[in-house]
Amino acid sequence: MKGHVLRPLYVVLALVALTFAARAFVVPPDFGAHEKGYMYGWYRKGNEAEWKAFKVKHQTRSYCEGCHTEEYSLIMKSPHGIINCENCHGPARDHPEAPLKLGIDKSRALCLRCHGYLPYKSTGREMIKGISPEEHNPDVECVSCHSPHNPLGGLS
């Protein structure tokens, strides 16, 4: 082969070799998928204790049920029952100790995340009742008329 073909090939081979050599120095030896395979993806085994001590930000809907029984029973009877409370209300971390930190997002944009038109047929989103945000009360927040905890209960 001519030199004009071999020189770029040597450069590419040198870059690949350099990449593998750098990886040996940069990536920790305990980085990988470990015992459970790819269930948790790639992580550092030596970092597990740090993650176990990490305070969880999101709770489950059963966390909310104890104190908010009326809202919980209403929403569980509605189509919104499949949605975790924190999808609309934000993370419940430190909620009982600091109740004002848990905000209630009443914005129109929050409702439009699910109820705005999406042209993707494979996601199943076309099954969710949607609105045309430009035509359906464009200057009014959804919660002014609709109860998110009882969306089938009619207008409020």
Give 99's pLDDT tier (boundaries 50, 70, 90).
Answer: low
Q: Quick one: 38 and 66 in the same domain?
A: no
The token pair at 49 is 């204790």
Kindly list the distances between the CA atom of residue 32 and the CA atoms of 21, 25, 76, in Å, as whole numbers in the listed order: 18, 15, 40
Kindly list the distances between the CA atom of residue 50 and the CA atoms of 41, 45, 93, in Å, as whole numbers in the listed order: 17, 10, 18
Residues 14, 16, 21, CA angle at the centre, nearest 5°?
90
Percent of the chain with pLDDT over 90: 11
Query: Would you say residue 53 lies in a domain?
Result: no
Q: Quick one: 83 and 12 in the same domain?
A: no
Mean pLDDT of the chain: 83
Total structural domains within the chain = 2
Query: Would you say residue 27 lies in a domain?
Result: yes
Burial class (CB in 10 A: 0-12, 13-18, 19+), 92: buried
Query: Would you say residue 124 lies in a domain?
Result: yes
pLDDT on residue 22: 94
Query: Would you say residue 52 lies in a domain?
Result: no
Q: Quick one: 42 and 104 in the same domain?
A: no
Query: Would you say residue 33 lies in a domain?
Result: yes
Alpha-carbon gap, residue 53 to 48, rounded angstroms: 9
Alpha-carbon gap, residue 133 to 141, rounded angstroms: 11
Q: Quick one: 81 and 37 in the same domain?
A: no
pLDDT on residue 1: 57
Tens of pLDDT, residues 70-90: 888 888 888 888 888 888 888
Structural domain that includes position 137: 61-153
Query: What's the whole-number mean pLDDT along residues 132-147?
Result: 86
Q: Quick one: 37 and 111 in the same domain?
A: no
CA dihedral (116, 119, 124, 127) positive or negative:
positive
Instruction: Report whether 129 contacts 115 (CB < 8 A).
Output: yes
Query: Would you say residue 146 lies in a domain?
Result: yes
